[in-house]
């Protein structure tokens, strides 16, 4: 089986939340592929305007028909059945008493919704509308066997060092707090781990730091824990929702014209993706872009959250994501990193007319043929390398892929027609 698919299949059934055993088990699976360091923050730790919550673990949760003993809803069947962070509860309830604790989707009668109650102490069950309609009048025995106790928030981190510390770092982050939802966010986790594995096997200039943490509070804990790293961060990329259909969608950072924004725009233009502007709603790009940190954080998804009906429901299952989508996202991210790695500015050393490329073995010797893309890449670089215009800017103007211009620039430097500024 495809290794990315296998990773998602193992992660899918685990009961993840902001904290707890499901998070640790998930990090252990990710750590089989790359050497993750696990870090923790104790419950009650103040983190900027937030506090690390108590650790939550769910052993069992079910609704049983009191008369027949028949189990009607069971956490063991699907992690989405229990509202995340449900407080412990045991009791016999009438249908009317149970109702306020039930969540279903009347318009999607076969889907289970995903609900959380992180900061309001409550318990609840999510079920399909069909299950809800068939519950009967009760009474019901409800057993929510959970614990909320002092413990810790756990996150995983890995630095794949670059060749030059001065070049700075790229932070890639993906949230780890959702239970059995494939697109949101097993896709982000599995693609990020594969990126880390590939980067560790080849040389690169920039350092790449990967963080797998629960949404919002996890990112804030990471930001609090790393004041020394923040000045080295040049680019932050949030990965989530990389499957589920539709083209890739890059959400710009708050400044909107950060180098990562320009690199992503270049790559998605060639790959048929879509760009959207920053808005202070969404995933952890909100935390990194916050005024106090001012880090340029972009986000890559396909159809953004909330814009597809399967979002935050049991229909976001493993069948909702294809292997092709994962590998296409990987290729796009590697291209974006290729732009960040290879971006440079040159000055033409023979600016008085077009230099004679044929004599240098750089141009097809037979005249009259249409110039190949490789030749066009050289001509664009020679025409526009004024010492102030970068390779990526010239690639955008030429409508050619960055990688093609990057190779051509190397050839032209070798032929002493371009010099780095
Ligand atoms: Zn989500």
Nearest to 192 by CA among 168, 167, 171: 171
Nearest to 238 by CA among 308, 342, 338, 329: 329
3-state secondary structure (DSSP) of residue 163 = coil
Whether pLDDT at 368 is above 90: no
pLDDT at 383: 97
Chain centroid to CA 378: 35
Nearest to 339 by CA among 386, 404, 384: 404
pLDDT at 373: 87
The DSSP secondary-structure symbol of 135 reads S
What does the CA dihedral 320, 144, 116, 7 come to, rounded to 10 degrees? -40
- Preceding omega of 141 cis (within 30 degrees of 0): no
**101 band by pLDDT with thresholds 50, 70 and 90:** very high
Interval between CA 282 and ligand 1 midpoint (Å) = 9
Interval between CA 234 and ligand 1 midpoint (Å) = 26
Of the listed ranges 148-152, 187-191, 237-241, 372-376, the one predicted with least confidence:
372-376
Interval between CA 285 and ligand 1 midpoint (Å) = 13
Token couple for 391? 């390779």
What is the arithmetic mean of pLDDT over 181-205?
A: 97
Interval between CA 394 and ligand 1 midpoint (Å) = 38
Of the listed ranges 31-40, 111-120, 155-164, 358-367, the one predicted with least confidence:
358-367
pLDDT at 367: 56
Percent of the residues in the chain that have a pLDDT greater than 90, as a whole number: 94
**DSSP sequence for 4-42:** HHHHHHHHTTS---SSSHHHHHHHHHHTTTS-PEEEEEE
Residue 305: how many CB atoms within 10 A of its CB?
A: 17
What is the arithmetic mean of pLDDT over 251-265?
A: 98
The DSSP secondary-structure symbol of 184 reads I
Give the model confidence (pLDDT) of 266-319 as tens digits. Answer: 999 999 999 999 999 999 999 999 999 999 999 999 999 999 999 999 999 999
**51 band by pLDDT with thresholds 50, 70 and 90:** very high
What is the arithmetic mean of pLDDT over 347-355?
A: 95
Residue 297: how many CB atoms within 10 A of its CB?
A: 29
Of the listed ranges 51-60, 76-85, 204-213, 350-359, the one predicted with least confidence:
350-359
* End-to-end alpha carbon distance in the chain: 48
The DSSP secondary-structure symbol of 150 reads S
Whether pLDDT at 365 is above 70: no
Residue 98 CA to residue 90 CA, distance in Å, equals 12
Place of tokens 């060639």: 270
**Average pLDDT score, the chain:** 96
Interval between CA 155 and ligand 1 midpoint (Å) = 17
Whether pLDDT at 227 is above 80: yes
Residues whose CB is less than 8 angstroms from the CB of residue 350 and which lie 6 or more positions away in sequence, other chains included: 382, 417
Give the model confidence (pLDDT) of 156-165 as tens digits. Answer: 999 999 998 9
Whether pLDDT at 366 is above 90: no
Interval between CA 11 and ligand 1 midpoint (Å) = 16
pLDDT at 60: 98
pLDDT at 222: 98
Residue 43 CA to residue 55 CA, distance in Å, equals 7
What does the CA dihedral 129, 135, 136, 137 come to, rounded to 10 degrees? -100
3-state secondary structure (DSSP) of residue 154 = strand
Provide φ and ψ at 409, rounded to 5°: -65, -40
Residue 280 CA to residue 296 CA, distance in Å, equals 13
Residue 110: how many CB atoms within 10 A of its CB?
A: 12
What is the arithmetic mean of pLDDT over 330-344?
A: 98
**DSSP sequence for 74-109:** ETTT-GGGB-BTPPPEEEEE-HHHHGGGEE--TTST
What is the arithmetic mean of pLDDT over 329-357?
A: 96
With 0-12 CB in 10 A as exposed, 13-18 as middle and 19+ as buried, what is 56?
Answer: buried
Interval between CA 34 and ligand 1 midpoint (Å) = 24
Interval between CA 216 and ligand 1 midpoint (Å) = 11
Own/partner pairs for 410-417, CB < 8 Å, 24+ apart?
411/362, 411/378, 412/346, 412/362, 412/378, 412/381, 412/382, 413/346, 415/360, 415/362, 416/349, 417/348, 417/349, 417/350, 417/355, 417/360, 417/382
Interval between CA 178 and ligand 1 midpoint (Å) = 7
Interval between CA 52 and ligand 1 midpoint (Å) = 19
Interval between CA 177 and ligand 1 midpoint (Å) = 9
Interval between CA 203 and ligand 1 midpoint (Å) = 34
Interval between CA 199 and ligand 1 midpoint (Å) = 27
**322 band by pLDDT with thresholds 50, 70 and 90:** very high
Q: What angle do CA 33, 36, 41 make, to 5 degrees?
A: 145
Question: pTM, whole model, 2 decimals?
Answer: 0.95
Interval between CA 184 and ligand 1 midpoint (Å) = 5
């Amino acid at each position: 089986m495809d290794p990315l698919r296998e990773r998602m299949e193992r992660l899918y059934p685990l009961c993840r939340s902001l904290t707890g055993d499901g998070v640790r088990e998930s990090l252990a699976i990710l750590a089989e592929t790359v050497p993750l360091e696990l870090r923790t923050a104790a419950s009650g730790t103040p983190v900027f305007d937030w506090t690390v919550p108590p650790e939550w673990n769910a052993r069992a949760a079910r609704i049983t028909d009191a008369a027949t003993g028949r189990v009607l809803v069971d956490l063991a069947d699907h992690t989405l059945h229990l509202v995340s962070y449900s407080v412990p509860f045991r009791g016999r309830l009438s249908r009317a008493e149970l109702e306020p604790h039930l969540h279903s989707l009347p318009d999607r009668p076969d889907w289970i919704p995903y609900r959380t109650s992180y900061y309001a102490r409550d318990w609840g069950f999510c079920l399909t509308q069909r299950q809800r309609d068939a519950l009967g009048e009760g009474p019901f025995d409800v057993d929510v066997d959970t614990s909320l106790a002092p413990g810790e928030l756990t996150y995983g981190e890995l630095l794949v060092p670059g060749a030059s510390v001065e070049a700075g770092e790229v932070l890639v982050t993906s949230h780890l707090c959702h239970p059995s939802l494939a697109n949101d966010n097993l896709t982000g986790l599995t693609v990020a781990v594969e990126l880390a594995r590939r980067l560790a096997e080849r040389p690169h200039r920039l350092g790449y730091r990967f963080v797998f943490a629960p949404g919002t509070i996890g990112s804030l804990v990471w930001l609090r824990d790393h004041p020394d790293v923040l000045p080295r961060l040049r680019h932050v990329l949030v990965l989530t929702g990389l499957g589920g259909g539709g083209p890739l969608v890059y959400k710009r950072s708050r400044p909107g014209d950060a180098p990562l924004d320009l690199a992503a725009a270049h790559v998605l233009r060639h790959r048929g993706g879509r760009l959207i502007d920053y808005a202070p709603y969404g995933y952890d790009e909100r935390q990194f872009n916050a005024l106090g940190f001012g880090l340029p954080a972009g986000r890559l998804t396909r159809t953004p959250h909330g814009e597809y009906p399967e979002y935050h429901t049991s229909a976001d299952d493993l069948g909702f994501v294809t292997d092709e989508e994962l590998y296409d996202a990987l290729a796009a991210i590697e291209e974006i990193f290729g732009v960040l790695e290879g971006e440079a500015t040159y000055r033409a050393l023979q600016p008085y007319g077009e230099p004679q490329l044929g004599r240098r073995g750089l141009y097809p010797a037979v005249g009259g043929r249409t110039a190949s893309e490789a030749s066009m890449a050289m001509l664009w670089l020679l025409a526009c390398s004024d010492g102030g215009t970068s390779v990526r800017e010239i690639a955008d103007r030429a409508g050619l892929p960055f990688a093609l211009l990057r190779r051509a620039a190397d050839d032209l430097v070798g032929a002493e027609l371009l010099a780095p500024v």
